[in-house]
Each structure stands twice: as structure tokens, then as C-alpha cells.
Amino acid sequence: MIPGGGSYLDGLNDIQRQAVTNTEGPVLVVAGPGSGKTRVLTYRIAHIIEKGAAPWQILALTFTNKAAREMKERIEKVVGARANSVWAGTFHSIFARILRVEADKIGYPSNFTIYDSDDTKSLLSTIVKEMNLDKSVYNINTIRSRISSAKSNLITPRLYAENDELKTQDRMAKMPLVHEIYGKYTARCKRAGAMDFDDLLYRLYELLQSNPDNVIEKYRNKFKYVLVDEFQDTNHLQYSIVRKLVNYDKSLRNICVVGDDAQSIYAFRGATIQNILDFEEDFKKYNIKVFKLEQNYRSTEHIVQAANEVILNNRRQIQKKIWSDKGQGNKIKVIKAMTDNEEGKRVADTILEQKNRFHLGNSDIAILYRTNAQSRIFEEYLRRYNIHYRVFGGLSFYQRKEVKDMIAYLRLVVNQNDEEALRRVINFPKRGIGKTTIEKLSKIADATNQTMWECLPAVPASTRAKNSMGEFRKMIMSAKQRVDTANAYELATYVAKRSGLIDLMKADTSIEGMGRLENINALLDGINAFVEEDNLIDTESIPDKSLASYLQNIALLTDFDDKNNNGDFVTLMSVHSAKGLEFKSIYVVGLEENLFPSAMALDSKDGLDEERRLFYVAVTRAEQFLTLSFANSRYRFGKMRFNQASRFLEEIPPIHIESTGYIRSKSPANQAHQGARIVGNFKKPRTAQSSRLMVDPSTFKPNAPDEIQVGMKILHMKFGEGKVLSIDGGKDNRVATIFFQGVDNPERRIMLRFAKLQILN
């Protein structure tokens, strides 16, 4: 039952109801955008519980903590408090929970540290330095990516060193020793009792692979039902673990995966669309059931049908036809601008018009772009128009230096072998323990195969440094003695005071210093909230309010979990960040070849297909209004670039677009099918007569660009006489708006450093 009476099944359409009630055996739910995917997934879990299964026998894997939390809240409305006992969480959080219990079987302590990307990069930098390698050649981000990819494909350091293809790629990149760095990195993580994010998957697979009897059977028997959300975003390793837990070769277990191949957009993170494309074939012999959710409850018909037509251009896909009964709605608006600056202005103008004409709030509107760098121009114009906005993709609270410093202290209290935490705080606040002493400490640890913590008493140093290290060690151990008796908040408060961090922040009375102190206090408030929450994973558990549990909790926060969506502001974000969201009005900007689709994707059909799926995701975020924009020219990497409209614009049939004119496209996408058209608010092509010169070149004498000022009458060789209405932009990038009489489209925007203008008065 649901609040208000009636069955939770009553509000489902026929296909949704079938997907919810067919609970046994393998099931694939192909869920188009806005088709009620979350409702189906949560009601399916509720239905399994209502049929008699124990909640803790259900494993539901998601990609964000926010999704898992919402899932439990919805299930609770149907089955009550039993929802709290469902094992629902991200791949990383659920796998970390299992590893906490079983880590000793693969040589890790149960209180292992979880390294974030900064920890990983710091450790890799240390290894590169110790190997005397050139950091300008051995790029840390590239090495990190190579190691991550290896783990995702179950390639150990030994297998990497034996793989000629990988080593050839490294040699071509002038980094032939990546395999050695990988080996050292893995060994150092294990020595420090630390796992990075990839290890939470990689080590769990190792655990299941190497302990088939006493571990894998335990979890196979525990989880009678396995469900995976956003299955199109899984990588090879995630799918391999799921298959091990399900293990159809021995006995038929119940697995349900939900996703949409048309929304697979994370190949750069290792996700593979093949998982969802091949799933039906993988479980065909077990009588798999496939349900396609094709009714879109979010968007109007013009938006839905345009998205359908675009995605049809992709090659291999699960066939489906998304439809809507919300009426035709507004046609799609296309904005063509001469420059990226003009694009920003016209988008802001259109937002203002929508707000006034249709009474939209700021929170009803989002601007989506392919790269985060595009936000600047839109921010400028929104500020000018006094339209409140927020940019997603900035610095996370947990990435602020003072917060990371405090967390490093807490990590060290829980796990003294955590070398990255030790390096970060051993001399912060300053204690007179210099870089030379820390390097000596690291070398002794390597030579003796001990941890840096174990070697602290043995490192040769000045009397002051030795005394400081002794006091530091004593302070950490005094906190460690409280681990078993104090909850996370009590222990964190003790550490904040004893470490000297609070005193250091209080001593800085600047606005920045007060802000840092506020952040430390906000962190302590968050730890206190964690302690006071009642959040059980199953009925066999007792609340774990330990510091180790808290550190795991924040280490596994995903990007979107840290975003606050409260407040009336226009949202600016990348298309990748917008997945799963919806707004009444969406602006997809920068729709130009080599920007969207990205130039990096044009070398392969797979890359272009993913870019098209990304565009599909952007379009289907819109409920009522969709605006697409592009600029003929924009500055990229310090240079003015002239652009063709994105091929994706051409793939939208003219019937769905609000149009004032048509032009034939000459972009690469159209060369393959002559006759296709791009439509929108376009200017007519100039006739031969309008392109003739209006001034005799022999008498034309252009002035220097910096002499041109607002209000001047000028002469242009092609457009004739004009008046400068306004000038904007920096010194070298000044753009003039000029009114020319007697020509089509008399108001023109011209980059002064490229223009040739003669002053007439």
C-alpha cells in the first residue's frame, strides 16, 4: 500500500507493471528518458519484499549515494522501515562495506584508508621523483589514467609488464617505465593499508576470485536478488563482479539491470556500452525477460521526436521508439550567433524573455555545455542582467585545503600506516620537520620495507625535529587510545584541538582565515550529524558511529552528492553533470563542429556515437522549452576560430524547429546525404551583388584598430559607410557593433584587430 490508499501497482502503466512484478530470473529493463525508471526500480524492490523476501537479501547497486538514498525513501513509503535493511548503495560503498569485513583475506587491515585522487597523484609524484624521472614527460594524470584502466580490465602489475601492446603504447608516449611505477604504486598502497577508488572494485574481484568457498558463497547466499541501476554506465570490472555474485552457471539467481544504451556517456571513465548491448545475449539461455519503457512522462512531443531522430543516426543500439502524450508543445528554438560573446548575450536575452513571458523561475532553467570553460561568457551576461545563477563543477567542500588537512589527521588516527596522510600533516601546523627530514624518513622506510610511521623514531634529524616528531607521534597515539571509547564527533573535536589546527585558524583574523575556521567547524558539525543519524544497513547491524565509518562515508561521496540544489538560480553545468536531471527550460550551447561533437571524438565512429548520445542526454533534460545555440566564431586556446554548425543540428527534422529561414549546410555530416537542411533563426545567404566591394581599394586608407571609438562614422570596403554603436572586449579582442546603411542585416559585430576601417570624422 502507499500513503492515501491503493496499491503501489495502480499508478504504473502496463509495461512498468510487468517490469515490477516479474521478479524471478534475469530481467533487462530498457528505460528511455523520463520513462519512470526510478519508480519501476523502487517498486520492484518493494514488490520483492511484499512477496516475502527479507530486505537484507536484496542488493541494489547505484552510481550515486543520492540515488540510493532516494531509492530507500521511495521504498519506505510502500513497505515502511523495512526499506532501511535493503543493501542499497553505490558500487564503491557496498564493496567497501564487504571489504571492511573480509579485507584480511587479501592482506589488508579492516581499517584500510581510501585514497582520493589527490592522494593517488601525490603518491605517484613521490614515486616518479624517487625514480629520478622527468615529471614533464611522466605526466601524473596520464600515469594515473593508465593504472586505472589496467585495474578496470583486471591487468595486474605483472600482467602489465608482460603485455607488449601496453608497453609499446608507453614507449610511444615516451614513458616506458609506467609498468614499474604501477608495481611500486601497488606495493606502496598495500604497505600503507590503503586502497584507491579503483581498488575497491579490483580488490573485491580479487577477494571473490581467490576465496570461492568461504567468501563468494557467503555473499551469493546472502543476496537472493541483485539489481543494478544505470547499467549502461558500468565498466568491465563492475559487470564481472556482478556476474560472480549472480553465478548462473551453478544455480539460477535473480538479477535485474535497468538502463538506457542511448544514455551511455561515460566511456572516458571506463564505462562500456557493450555491457547493456550484450546483456540479453549473455542470459538468453536462462529465459531472460526484456521490458522497454518507451513512454516519456517528462517532455513534450517536439522534444521527444527530435531526440528520437538524432539517436537513429547511431549504429548499434537497442531499438526503441520513445513517445509522449504531453502534447506537441513548443518547437525547438535555434540561436545562431556571429561570436561566442553574442551567443552569451542572446541566450541571456532569451532567458529573460522566458522568465517574463512564461513566468519561469530561475530554478526552472539550465544552461548545458560540452566543456566547463564555456561557462564564463554566460556568467558575465547573467550577472549583467542580475539573473541569479550557480555553476556546478567548482571546488567541492571536501577538496578545500583546511578540510583535507583535518581529514588527514583523522585518517592517521585510524590508520598510522597511511603515508599520504602522514606526509600532509607531519609538519602542519609547522613543527620544524622539514622536507629533507621527510625524504630521509621515506628512504629509510623503503630500505627496510617498513612504514614511515614505524621508522619515525629511527630517522636522523636535528634535536628540534626529533622532539617535534616525538610530540607528533605522542599526539596521534593519544587520539588513537580514544578510538574504541569515543564516537566520531568526540574524537574529531579532540584531534582538531590537540593538533593545533583550531588555534592556527583562530590566529588568522582575515576574512579568508575566518572562512577556513568556519569550514573546519562545518566539518565537525557534519561529523556530529553523522553520529546522530540512525542508518542501519540490515537488521543484524548495530549503528557504527566510529571515526573509521565516518571516513569511509565521506570518502565515497560522489560528485553530485555534494551539490546543494536549494535556491532560485539558473543552473550552469556540463552535459555530463546534467544526466538524471530535468528542467522546464534547457539551453544547449556551443553546438559547433569540433566543440560538440568534440574534435577528440571525430577520429572514431564509437567516439562520434558517444557524442551523439551525449547530445541526446542534453536534449531530453528539457520538459517544455529547448533552445540550441552556436556561434560562427569563438576564442579557443587564445585564438579566434571560425566554426561550422554541429552536425547534430542537421539531424533534427525541420518540422520540430522554430524557423525563420533555411540554409543548406556544408558540414561534414551533410556531405554523406545531400539535401539535408539545417534550420533556425538564420540570415539569408548574401547574393552576388551584396558581396561586391562598395569602396575603391586604391583610395581606401584604414586606420589603426585602437583609433576606432564609439560614435565615429567609418568606412568599410564591403559594407560602405557605418556608425560605431558600441565596443566591448579587452584591448586585443575589441569587438565593435556597427550600423551600416543600405545593406541586408545592417547591424554587424566586427573584430577590430582583423577589420579594416577608415575613420570619416
Joined together, the cell numbers standing for residue 186 give 601497488
Q: Active-site residues: which are they?
A: 37-38, 229-230, 263, 621
DSSP line for 334-401 = EEEEEEHHHHHHHHHHHHHHHHHHH---GGGEEEEESSGGGHHHHHHHHHHTT--EEESSS--GGGSH
* Cβ count within 10 A of residue 652: 24
Helix count (H) and strand count (E) of the chain? Answer: 29, 23
DSSP line for 607-647 = HHHHHHHHHHHHHTTEEEEEEEEEEEEEEETTEEEE-PBPH
CA distances in angstroms from 331 to 158, 358, 420, 478, 667, listed in the order given: 57, 15, 55, 67, 24
Q: Where are the beta strands (DSSP E) in 545-616?
A: 570-574, 583-588
CA distance 344 to 368: 12
Joined together, the cell numbers standing for residue 189 give 598502497
Alpha-carbon torsion 246, 252, 253, 254, what sign? positive
Question: What burial class does residue 121 get, using C-beta atoms within 10 Å of its C-beta: 0-12 exposed, 13-18 middle, 19+ buried?
Answer: middle
Containing H/E element for 721?
Answer: strand 720-728
Output the furthest CA–CA distance in the chain (Å, rounded): 93
Joined together, the cell numbers standing for residue 521 give 567547524
Q: How many residues does the chain have?
A: 761
Residue pair 440/137 in contact (Cβ under 8 Å)? The answer is no
DSSP line for 229-291 = SSGGG-BHHHHHHHHHHH-TTTS--EEEEEE-GGG---GGGTB-THHHHHHHHHTGGGT-EEE
Joined together, the cell numbers standing for residue 345 give 548575450
**CA dihedral in degrees (277, 278, 281, 282; nearest 10)?**
-140
Alpha-carbon torsion 499, 501, 502, 504, what sign? positive
